[in-house]
Amino acid sequence: MKPQHQKALTFIRNCIVHRGHSPSLKDLADAMGFSSRNAAVLIIDNLIKEGFLQRREDKSLQIISYPMEENIHANTVQIPLVGAASCGLPLWAEQNIEANFPVSTKLAKPPHTYFILRANGDSMNQAGIDDKALVLVRQDGQVINALHIIVT
């Protein structure tokens, strides 16, 4: 992968993780140091052709693959980020995969089902889960267990 494509993909991933949505063309062009949005369009088109991104019906971007660093030796599995969970008043969640993250099989042990949620609200602060933290969740039948804070 070209370094410029890697930088763009990392920026897009970080926007999805930290803002909850993909960046605008202007945001991507600014982050890449481009004077034109057309250059950002070309990068996105190349990342789609290479199989790293896809466009959703609402024109936002979804990461479908993220290149692993070659020097990572731990076994990992891809865990989807499926949205946000309210840590205050209860809200219904809709499954909507925003990105996939490689997570060590030491944390995400087969054969369980795992997903990642972005915490919304501050009712979990005493448990060390801050607003916007990414939390690895294991589903066991009808029980869901928050296992590990990935990113804050």
Ordered by where they begin, the domains of the chain are 3-63 (1.10.10.10), 76-151 (no CATH)
DSSP tally for the chain: helices H, then strands E: 3, 7
More confident call, 19 vs 88:
19
Residue 146's pLDDT is 55
Of 126, 113, 114, 120, nearest to 91 by C-alpha is 120
Characterize 84-121 residue by residue with b for buried, 16 or more Cβ atoms within 10 angstroms of its Cβ, and e for exposed: bbebeeeeeeeeeebbbbbbeeebbeeeeebbbbbbbb
Residue 41's pLDDT is 93
Q: Compute the average pLDDT of residues 43-70.
A: 85
Residue 102's pLDDT is 80
Residue 80's pLDDT is 73
Q: Compute the average pLDDT of residues 37-43.
A: 93
Whole-structure pTM value: 0.52
Does pLDDT of 87 surpass 60? no
What one-letter code names the amino acid at 31?
A: A
Q: Compute the average pLDDT of residues 124-141.
A: 68
Residue 107's pLDDT is 78
d(Cα 15, Cα 27) in Å, to the nearest integer? 10
The angle subtended at Cα 56 by Cα 89 and Cα 138, nearest 5°, is 45
